[in-house]
Amino acid sequence: MPQPMSDVPPANKYLRLAAEVSDALASGRPVVALESTLIAHGLPRPTNLTVAREMEARVRAEGAVPATIALLDGQIVIGMSDAELERLATTSEPVAKASRRGLAVALAQRSLAATTVSGTLACAALASIRVFATGGIGGVHRGAAQTFDISADLIELGHAPIVTVCAGIKAILDLPLTLEYLETQGIPVIGVQTDELPAFYCRGSGLRVPFRAETPADIAAIARAQWQSGLGGGLLVTCPIPAGDAMPDSVFADALAQAERDAAEARLSGPAITPYLLARIGALTDGTSIAANRALLLNNATWAARVAVALQTG
């Protein structure tokens, strides 16, 4: 029998697990972590709240327990209630965008913070959650040779013993450089039923994905090999957006070019860049990119839940 992949985390006054999540972890049932930056900063209102709820429903439909993570009132909440999701999605308070570096500050100051991929991975690891679903990971920004803007996501993906399920690297980034960086960090990047690296809103990037898997069981077997061998660290699973929901490459490329010009004019830098580009592309494409973002998020939630189930049933 395979060992259960999850465990109950040690008690800690900064961690608050929903009862459903801690029960599932204690009895070795599948749990999927979900991030909150896409709710607070990645999607427009009211789609943000709808999608947050839909992602949880997708996870449940596959027989796993969702654990959406954010920082509220001085605690890391692992498994937000529906009222908490609604608060984060609709609040008029400022919401911090917490990568790993922002977590302790938000805890100490008891501020409301949404967690990025890196922030969510760090928190999910504290709770011994093994699978996480997001949209597109952060990566090496275009022009990073000058700006040094390389997402903290890439570092955390290498450390946290978690399978991250995404639709590839956000296509606003430098994809070849991000792939290089993922190799540097020792992160296996696995294409789901594809040899081509998915590109977020679009199915393909023209780049080869280093590894390929066909089924949730195949992915679970790779994760088990990495962890039970003692190698540790994270894995990145990339699912192409469903064909009917993908944006035509040229529509995306035109919108991105315009959004980049606008971002340069607005002199944005750091954490503000990604939310700005996503919102600008949404406006420039009349919401087509938002619909694509929703579709890929739901697909990733489904796949993540299947992987979580496969990890437990082996």
Catalytic sites, residue numbers: 35, 170
CB 76 within 8 A of CB 126: yes
Residue 136 interacts with, from ligand PSU, Mn ion, none (CB under 5-8 Å by kind): ligand PSU
Residue nearest to ligand PSU (CB): 135
Decide whether 47 or 274 has the Cβ nearer to ligand PSU.
Answer: 274
CB 247 within 8 A of CB 288: yes
Residue 62 interacts with, from Mn ion, ligand PSU, none (CB under 5-8 Å by kind): none
Decide whether 62 or 153 has the Cβ nearer to Mn ion.
Answer: 153
Q: Does 37 bind ligand PSU (CB under 6 A)?
A: yes
Q: Does 38 bind ligand PSU (CB under 6 A)?
A: yes
Q: Does 116 bind ligand PSU (CB under 6 A)?
A: yes
Query: Rounded to whole angstroms, what are the CA distances from 214 to 114, 177, 179, 226?
Result: 33, 26, 21, 18
Nearest to 51 by CA among 303, 295, 308: 295
Decide whether 44 or 314 has the Cβ nearer to ligand PSU.
Answer: 44
Q: Which of 6, 17, 35, 201 binds ligand PSU (CB under 6 A)?
A: 35
* HEC-encoded secondary structure of the chain: CCCCCCCCCCCCCCEEECHHHHHHHHCCCCEEEECCHHHHHHCCCCHHHHHHHHHHHHHHHCCCEEEEEEEECCEEEECCCHHHHHHHHHCCCCCEEECHHHHHHHHHHCCCEEECHHHHHHHHHHCCCCEEECCCECCEECCHHHHCCECCHHHHHHHCCCEEEECEECCCECHHHHHHHHHHCCCCEEEECCCECCECCECCCCCECCEEECCHHHHHHHHHHHHHCCCCCCEEEECCCCHHHCCCHHHHHHHHHHHHHHHHHCCCCHHHHHHHHHHHHHHHCCCHHHHHHHHHHHHHHHHHHHHHHHHHHC
Decide whether 277 or 311 has the Cβ nearer to Mn ion.
Answer: 277
CA 133 – CA 193 distance, rounded (Å): 17
Per-residue contact flags (x/-) with Mn ion for residues 133 to 152, judged by CB under 5 A? ----------------x---
Decide whether 41 or 203 has the Cβ nearer to ligand PSU.
Answer: 41
Q: Does 156 bind Mn ion (CB under 5 A)?
A: no
CA 148 – CA 290 distance, rounded (Å): 28
Residue 79 interacts with, from ligand PSU, Mn ion, none (CB under 5-8 Å by kind): none
Q: Which of 66, 102, 136, 188 binds ligand PSU (CB under 6 A)?
A: 136
- Cβ 23 to ligand PSU shortest distance, Å: 27
Residue 134 interacts with, from Mn ion, ligand PSU, none (CB under 5-8 Å by kind): ligand PSU
Per-residue contact flags (x/-) with ligand PSU for residues 142 to 181, judged by CB under 6 A? ---------x-x----------------------------
Residue 290 interacts with, from Mn ion, ligand PSU, none (CB under 5-8 Å by kind): none
Q: Does 117 bind ligand PSU (CB under 6 A)?
A: yes
- Cβ 294 to ligand PSU shortest distance, Å: 9
- Contact set with ligand PSU (CB under 6 A): 35, 37-38, 41-42, 116-117, 134-136, 138, 151, 153, 271, 274, 278, 293, 297
- Contact set with Mn ion (CB under 5 A): 149
